Amino acid sequence: MGNTRILTREFEYVAPETMPELLALLDRYGPAATIIAGGTDVVPQLKYEKISPDYLIDVTKIAELRTVRRDGALHIGAAVRLRDVKAYCRDNETYACLGDALGSIGQAQVVNMGTLGGNICTASPAADSALALLVLEARVRLIGSGGERVVPLDAFFRGPKMTGMEPGEVMAEIQVPAVVDHTGSAFRKIGRVAGDISKISCAVAVQSDGERCLSCRIGMGAVGPTPMRMPGVEQLLSGRAIDAGVMDEAADRIAADISPLTDVRSTEFYRRRVSRVLFKDTFDQAWKRVQR
Amino acid sequence: MNDDRFEVIGRVTRRQDGHAMVTGRQLYSSDISLPNMLQARVLRSPYPHARIAAIDTSEAERLGAVCITPEDVPRVKYNERQVSVPAKTYRDRTVLPDKVRHVGQGVVAVAARTEALADRALDALDVEFESLPAVFDPHEAMRDGAPQLHDAVLLGETVLPIERNIACYREAVEGDVARGLEEADLVVENEFTTGRAYHGQLESKAVVCRPEADGGITVWATAQSIHNTRQLLGSLFDIPLSKINVQRVPIGGSFGSSIQMNSSVAVCVALALKAQKSVKLVLTREEDMYDHCKYPSNIHLTYGVKRDGTLTAGYLKTVVDIGGHNIQAYPLLGCMAGWFVSLYRLPHLKFEGTAVYTNKAPACAMQGYGNPQVTFAVESMMDTIAEELDIDPIDVRLKNYVGLGETFWGQGPTVRSVIRSCGVEEMLLKGKAMVGWEGRGSSTSKTGRFRRGIGVGRGFHTSGTGAPTPGEVIDYSTAMVKINEDGSVDCLTALMCHGGGTLDAGAKMVAEELGVPLDRVGISPSNTRSTGYDVCTHATRGVYCGGASLLRAAQDVKKILFDFASRIIDVNPDALKVRPDTNRGQGVVCLPGAPAKRITVAEVAKTAQIKGWGSIIAVVSHRQVNCPPCFVVNFVEVEVDTATGQIRPMRAVAAVDAGTVINPDLAAGQLEGGLCRGIGLALLEDTTYKPDTGELTCGGYLTDYKVYTAQDMPSLEDLSTFFADTYEPSGPFGAKGVGEAANNATAGAVANAIYNAVGIRLTEAPITPERVLSALTRDAEQLQQGR
């Protein structure tokens, strides 16, 4: 049994203030270093002794990682607090599903301390913001000493707690493309209590002409190794007039395409059963948001 | 709600300790820090059942740690709870075991300069376990050939062999159940379960021990009874009680989890005695969760009832999974019998309870002590009866409840008394109107995905465990009150406050009696060397029993005050009154109608000092000879999402008959808190185990042991509380208890609300969305087959 009251192992804490400093530290320390931003995931990992780094590199002092700017796409620095992203979404309905996702985090401490980049780098299949960003077709910009690259989010997640980030790389920002007209989006989840990560979650972004679904992106969370896009259902719905029959068909496909497990939070049976209705509810809400 | 009969009782007043609590200045056991203090950590078993074959501490000692193993501690078998009389106390544990009986049980303890060093020392320990087969289900544990946790235990001083892991068995019979069931027009029966909820108190258990130069010890511990802690430590370590001082330290919540001396206290003392240095041991959350939980229940319940709704017989059979050690299963079973028979009148009744050892964390009392479990089953059954007979559920309750003038034995067969105050009818009828009961409709009238239902539950708890005759449980309190030379007052008692304001209530009673402004009545710090015995602050006895002892001491002090005052102002003491004078901030002794005959309490006390008459002081040991029921009624409205099985509590009305209410805001807070935890018991909370390893499924972490917060509860506008208008003749200023009662009726009310919403009787708590959805699916399939 570990000791979650204190961090029992010694480590060195460093807080660079510029990107070059950060990259140099990553190169110098290699796998002995762990990046910490809000700490809402890293600190529990330290306490559970799942990780025991010699160096903890705090990236929240780097100004470049803490800015939000817009140039068509929205660029959110990886170390921007969830609270600030949430406030931004409240003022910009375009990214409704991201606002829903951040609003669904019941623990004020997580919202205040956690960062958007951290929520993604944790690569939890149940990460709320990651699922919303997935259907917004977000990309992440990664920087290493050898250069930088931009990776679509759905290619970034490789498995539970596994990402496509190379050693020495750091996430600089999340890019959310401009949302095309007549698009609505929504995110919903089911947790055990208000302050919980999801048993199952769903995000939808749909473009419609009022009757037909012109295109859509659907994501399901906590039902597979990563936050998952549902290409089968997306194809099934694209170009179709939306009615109850079509929705039933799509919901059946969702339930068939996900691969949930039984774990401490819920059961495979339950997750599969409610995936249908959760998807319908979320789709419905996204659809209503287009009409407005 | 201001009661004109009183100056401060019944009024919302500010708590004396409130400021320190909300500003973080209150010091708890874990805040205690002493010079040269060592930090302790405990090596805990990774096995659910194992013999300890070998222990090597040499590496840990090389790191500078002081270590204790089972070899270094007293071999005395003890029970950590000292509330029952010795002859009824089951003793099955030692300070450190030679055989572990659940994952997380402490085996070796170390103390070092820092906690990090102590942790390294833990890693350096070499302990060889010989794993034994384990059993996690109480029914399996009772089968022949099941792994045996204990060969024998001590009951009092008698060796008691343990067979089929049955820790104890208890039966209560009145009349002839078979005959009662024959006389019935309808017999209903069902099986109910509730989970092993974790107390989830904010403060994990903590203890600091300082060995003294004279061979004694001073202890700061998370404890509901400093005196029982002291006595137990005295007998374990063979130290005279005069050399053991256990300090009362504010407790960061308890819900019953520190009625017993926490297992870590004796470990810390043993370390301190060996190290001859102060030692501090604070449990981590995961250690705390492996240390205690609520008694779960598995109840088979049968009722016989006449067509008009009159009960003819009741038969309750329960199996309780107590985990690896027997803390208080015997009195628990007695109380479960008591809760059962004292809810509704039963001409013929039978109770059978069996407590069974399993390789899980030991269960102990938690808010209600078997009562929410029994009441969940009973209140569910009352609604089943009402449904079957087509009678309003409230009428079934009104027809059968045990009320005014009737004998009840809430605390078990040996604790009988007559009910002298009762607000059951008032609460049921008023609550019914408030919640809009008549408009709730039947489940068959409800359609659509989201369905709302309203349910009722009622219950009670006893105020303490007092009785006219001495029984199996010890119950009395000691208090000292003294008037200081400036007219202010000190109250000294070993009574504890768990957060509900018990000590504050005591101060109000003293202020009321002595006519001194409340802000001049202080609660003194206390310890076992300066106070008389107080059994324990448990069983909802704080206000009714502990408060009564303070009131009695205040009454004695008042006699001295009047005697001294009469000498000064020349009035017969019997004619004197004392009232607070807010302008002067003083109590004033006066002869009503004679303005000249007035003197402040301060002047009396100062004069007594100058003239050498002595201190105005009194000490009283007081036993209440009743434990009157504080009745409770809950109405809960839920919304069931039939597509996801999620249940949301939307609205609630919670009422208590606490007799005279001492502080309405704090009492309402108790009702709200009890309701919240009751909803948790109904819908959410349980500690489950991995069958392969015997580990907690949640790992002991709060990240996966969820409790409801304000976000999950009905909003304040939708949550109403009220108090029955009653006066308990045996209570201090007419008061009874609140605490545990607040929790007892809720789970039943929730289950009844779910039934009213969807027409399905769910009997397995926690009623999780997973269980609801399965039940709804089964129900739909049955409906389809029926067509």
A167-208, pLDDT tens digit by residue? 999 999 999 999 999 999 999 999 999 989 999 999 999 999
Nearest CA in chain A to B118: A8
Residues of A in contact with B703 (CB under 8 A): 44
Residues of chain B above pLDDT 70, percent: 99
Residues B168-198 have pLDDT tens digits of: 999 999 999 999 999 999 999 999 999 999 9
Residues of B in contact with A126 (CB under 8 A): none
pLDDT given for residue B1 in this prediction: 47
Q: List the one residue out of B26, B524, B463 whose CA is nearest residue B251.
A: B26
The answer to whether B114 contacts chain A (CB < 8 Å) is: no
Q: Which amino acid is at B55?
A: I
What is the Cα–Cα distance from B534 to B476, expressed in whole angstroms?
6
Nearest CA in chain B to A273: B644
Based on its alpha-carbon atoms, the radius of gyration of chain A, rounded to whole angstroms, reads: 19
Check if A12-57 and A183-291 are the same fold: no
pLDDT band at B780 (very low <50, low <70, confident <90, very high): confident
Average pLDDT taken over every residue of chain B: 96
pLDDT band at B2 (very low <50, low <70, confident <90, very high): low
Residues A44-72 have pLDDT tens digits of: 999 998 999 999 999 999 999 999 999 98
The answer to whether B760 contacts chain A (CB < 8 Å) is: no
List Cα–Cα distances, B265 to B85, B246, B270, in angstroms: 22, 11, 9
What is the Cα–Cα distance from B622 to B119, expressed in whole angstroms?
47
The answer to whether A10 contacts chain B (CB < 8 Å) is: yes
- Residues 6 or more apart from B726 whose CB is under 8 A from it? B421, B422, B423, B426, B657, B659, B734
What domains can be seen in chain B, in order of their start residue? 32-132+202-253+258-289 (3.90.1170.50), 293-468+626-786 (3.30.365.10), 476-622 (3.30.365.10)
pLDDT given for residue B469 in this prediction: 87
What is the Cα–Cα distance from B228 to B244, expressed in whole angstroms?
12
Please determine, for residue B377, whether its predicted confidence score (pLDDT) is greater than 80. yes
- Considering only the beta carbons, identify the residue of A4, A195, A267 that sits closest to B770: A267
Is B735:B661 a contact under the CB 8 Å cutoff?
yes
Q: List the one residue out of A103, B239, B721, B28 whose CA is nearest residue A95.
A: A103
pLDDT given for residue A9 in this prediction: 86
The answer to whether A50 contacts chain B (CB < 8 Å) is: no
pLDDT, average across residues B713-734 = 97
- Considering only the beta carbons, identify the residue of A2, A193, A265 that sits closest to B712: A193
Please determine, for residue B600, whether its predicted confidence score (pLDDT) is greater than 90. yes
A195, B46: Cβ pair inside 8 Å?
Answer: no
- Residues 6 or more apart from B583 whose CB is under 8 A from it? none
The alpha carbon dihedral of B461, B467, B472, B474 has a sign of positive
- Considering only the beta carbons, identify the residue of A1, A4, A8 that sits closest to B104: A1
Enter the pTM of the model: 0.97
pLDDT given for residue B394 in this prediction: 98
B770, A270: Cβ pair inside 8 Å?
Answer: yes
pLDDT band at A292 (very low <50, low <70, confident <90, very high): low
The answer to whether A250 contacts chain B (CB < 8 Å) is: no
- Residues 6 or more apart from B196 whose CB is under 8 A from it? B293, B294, B295, B296, B321, B323, B360, B361, B363, B686, B687, B688
Pick among B110, B644, B768 to test the A interface (most A CBs inside 10 A)? B644
B709, A190: Cβ pair inside 8 Å?
Answer: no
- Considering only the beta carbons, identify the residue of B115, B698, B706 that sits closest to A193: B706
* Residue B407, both tokens: 């004998």
- Residues 6 or more apart from B289 whose CB is under 8 A from it? B198, B361, B687, B696, B698, B700, B701, B705
Strand locations in chain A, DSSP E? 12-14, 33-36, 55-58, 68-71, 73-77, 139-144, 147-152, 157-159, 162-163, 170-176, 183-190, 200-208, 213-221, 228-229
What is the Cα–Cα distance from B26 to B47, expressed in whole angstroms?
38
B709, A8: Cβ pair inside 8 Å?
Answer: no
The answer to whether A194 contacts chain B (CB < 8 Å) is: yes
CA angle A129, A135, A140 (to 5 degrees): 65
Q: List the one residue out of B627, B471, B625 whose CA is nearest residue B542.
A: B627
| Beta-carbon pairs below 8 A across chains A and B | 76
Architecture of domain A64-176: 2-Layer Sandwich (3.30)
A6, B116: Cβ pair inside 8 Å?
Answer: yes
- Considering only the beta carbons, identify the residue of B104, B703, B777 that sits closest to A44: B703
Residues B394-408 have pLDDT tens digits of: 999 999 999 999 999
Residues of A in contact with B115 (CB under 8 A): 3, 5-6, 8
pLDDT, average across residues B94-109 = 97
B115, A3: Cβ pair inside 8 Å?
Answer: yes
Architecture of domain A12-57: 2-Layer Sandwich (3.30)
Nearest CA in chain B to A191: B646
Please determine, for residue B491, whether its predicted confidence score (pLDDT) is greater than 80. yes
Q: Which amino acid is at B153?
A: V
CA B111 to chain centroid, in Å, comes to 32
B769, A265: Cβ pair inside 8 Å?
Answer: no
What is the Cα–Cα distance from B98 to B186, expressed in whole angstroms?
53
Residues B142-172 have pLDDT tens digits of: 999 999 999 999 999 999 999 999 999 999 9
- Considering only the beta carbons, identify the residue of B116, B769, B773 that sits closest to A8: B116
Is B44:B127 a contact under the CB 8 Å cutoff?
no
Nearest CA in chain A to B119: A8
What is the Cα–Cα distance from B187 to B177, expressed in whole angstroms?
12
Residue B770 Cα, gap to closest chain A Cα (Å): 6
Residue B553, H or E segment:
helix B547-569
For A30-159, where are the alpha helices, taking DSSP H only? 42-47, 82-91, 96-103, 108-113, 116-121, 128-135, 153-156
Pick among A264, A272, A279 to test the B interface (most B CBs inside 10 A)? A264
pLDDT given for residue B432 in this prediction: 98
Domains of chain A by residue range? 12-57, 64-176, 183-291
B773, A270: Cβ pair inside 8 Å?
Answer: yes
**Domain spanning A183-291: CATH 3.30.390.50:** yes
Q: Is ipTM strictly over 0.85?
A: yes
Please determine, for residue B787, whether its predicted confidence score (pLDDT) is greater than 60. no
Torsion angle of C-alpha atoms A106, A110, A111, A112, degrees rounded to 10: 130
A3, B646: Cβ pair inside 8 Å?
Answer: no
B769, A196: Cβ pair inside 8 Å?
Answer: no
The answer to whether A11 contacts chain B (CB < 8 Å) is: no
For B684-768, where are the alpha helices, taking DSSP H only? 741-744, 746-758
Residues B603-636 have pLDDT tens digits of: 999 999 999 999 999 999 999 999 999 999 999 9
